[in-house]
A and B are shown apart, each in its own frame.
Chain A
Amino acid sequence: MKSLSTAWKHMRRSPYQAMAAILTMFLTLLLTGIFFLASSASYFILQYFESKPQITVFFTDKVDESEVTKLKTILEATGKITSLKYVSKDEALGIYREQNKHDPLLLEMVTADILPASLEVSATDPKYLGDLEPIIKQAQGVEEVVYQKDVVDTLISWTNAIRLVGGSLAGLLALDSILIVTTIIGMKIALKKQEVEILTLVGASPWYIRAPFLLEGGLYGVMSACVASILIGGVILWMYPMLLTFLGVIPAIGILLGNPTGVPFLMATLGFVGGLAATGFLLGTIGSFVAVSRYLRF
């Protein structure tokens, strides 16, 4: 507790150095936070698409139900199918209406006639999709075959790109933050050389002397994380309607964003802010530790 108050006193007495450290770490944590959220969102989106049927077979308007049943029987006989679900024109209209219930104009223009019936196919393993494709294409009444795999592959490449760019940038900024904190704490140790000497001579333990400097770096990190969290929270609040429209259909995201006062949202917020604060504390403490190890040897 004493070390914490000493660390706070150090910060108050050199506000410009403290501000430089906090601003640098704030940028690092802001970007880390944004990339973490983007990466998490892309993960949920990916998971959502992976859980969807891997092939959707659209039929022509004139297709007979017996032909659909025949195709289902052939596909089931391969032993490579997890599930098959037939969506009739009427059911397709129902789905369409549910998805566009807030836009009456879109609802007026569409009838069951213009929507195709479809068969949603999930294979036991994506590698079987190649074997199933010719069977589906040879079937009577098939108009179009849509592979979910293409969408998933695109999403995977986007997710990987976000992770690579975000991770590299966050890593570089983290290194930068550590170096800045090391420099600032090193300067502070140099400024307090006389105080450190006196403390050493009167019998202060090495950790009594080091702890305030270590905590100071950690405090920079926690403060930066708080500012970054507030800014990210503000941006999310500002973009809330748009995020809800575009990402609300993803179940995991829908549960979180759908009820901002619910337990899942509050727990996720707490976890995010806590994680960011812990990252900031860790970065700051590493920076301080390097400075302390270098300039406070007993």
Chain B
Amino acid sequence: MIRFEHVTKAYGQIRALHDVSVDIQDGEFVFLIGPSGAGKTTFLRLLIRDIAPSRGTICIDSWNLGTLPRSSVYLLRRKVGTVFQDFKLLSDRTVFENVALGLEIRGKNDSEIERDVMRVLTLVKLGEKRHLFPQQMSAGELQRTSIARTIVGGPSVILADEPTGNLDPDTAWEILEILQQVNSLGTTVIMATHNAGIVNDLKKRTIALDRGSMVSDEAKGRYHTTHKTAAARHKSEA
């Protein structure tokens, strides 16, 4: 279980996240929505201890991230895998090698790596393209590679930071299907997104953030018109 208790993250005078308290149960699929600058990425970065909270407590199962030693952060990141909007793939490695990285860091042997990577590449429909390099692939394929690298190690939580942000609607749905498939196997998925269509169609739990504060937490949420973009809000404020 993931628990945020009165978590605040400030960068000097700027509050990226303010007094957020939320529980996420094992196996949930949660959308994190809100305009740019709402605090979605901060929320996710706190979960992998990329940054530390200014106040409050964050726990994942029995781990209190505030007291987790720096030398153990890598263990947290094996438990909590992340899918990035910009993929974060190694350009000098093939699809297979990029995905294998998720197992190499865990000290798996070659035969285990070969077996598990091929299984995951088949799941994301990239088995045929395992020898290609990132620069030879489309954005959708890159994101599927990134997801494959994240899930191959079997994390119990997957964080997806706007994974469909750079993709066309059809490809975005393909990515969503993979994440739903992984979620159906018991993995918790927390996905930050701007994509109203996806949020409205899937009707999953939705946490809305605005200017660092949690404004709603709905069990079958929708991307309401009140979740305006920052630009629209500034325009109306003006």
A167-206 Cβ-contact flags toward B at 8 Å (1 or 0): 0000000000000000000000000000101111111111
Q: Does B138 contact A (CB under 8 A)?
A: no
Kindly identify which residue among B88, B106, B153 contacts A198, using a CB–CB cutoff of 8 Å: B88
Q: For the complex, would chain A's binding face be called helix, strand, loop or mixed by DSSP majority?
A: helix
Closest to B79 in A: A203
Instruction: Give the interface centre of B74, B77, B88, B153 by most chain A CB atoms within 10 Å.
Output: B74
Judge whether B88 and A201 touch: CB under 8 Å: yes
Judge whether B149 and A202 touch: CB under 8 Å: yes
Judge whether A198 and B82 touch: CB under 8 Å: no
Q: Does B224 contact A (CB under 8 A)?
A: no
Judge whether A205 and B90 touch: CB under 8 Å: no
Q: What number of B residues sit within 8 Å (CB to CB) of A?
A: 24
Kindly identify which residue among B50, B75, B106 contacts A201, using a CB–CB cutoff of 8 Å: B50
Given A198-B88, A201-B77: A206 and B71 within 8 A (CB)? Answer: yes
Q: How far is the CA of A200 from the CA of B70 in the complex (A)?
A: 12
Kindly identify which residue among A197, A200, A202 contacts B101, using a CB–CB cutoff of 8 Å: A202
Residues of A within 8 A of B153 (CB): 203
Given A195-B90, A198-B90: A203 and B78 within 8 A (CB)? Answer: yes
Judge whether A205 and B105 touch: CB under 8 Å: yes
Q: What number of A residues sit within 8 Å (CB to CB) of B?
A: 14
Judge whether B82 and A201 touch: CB under 8 Å: yes
Residues of B within 8 A of A206 (CB): 71, 74
Q: Does B104 contact A (CB under 8 A)?
A: yes
Residues of A within 8 A of B150 (CB): 202
Whole-angstrom distance from the CB of A23 to the nearest CB of chain B? 26
Whole-angstrom distance from the CB of B86 to the nearest CB of chain A? 10
B97-136 Cβ-contact flags toward A at 8 Å (1 or 0): 0000110111000000000000000000000000000000
Residues of B within 8 A of A204 (CB): 74, 101, 105
Interface residues of A (CB under 8 A from B): 2, 195, 197-206, 208, 298
7 more CB-based (< 8 A) A-B contacts, given A201-B88, A204-B105:
A195-B90, A197-B88, A198-B88, A203-B77, A203-B81, A203-B106, A298-B70
In the assembled complex, 5 residue pairs joining A and B whose CB atoms fall closer than 8 Å, in A order, are A201-B48, A201-B77, A203-B74, A203-B106, A298-B71
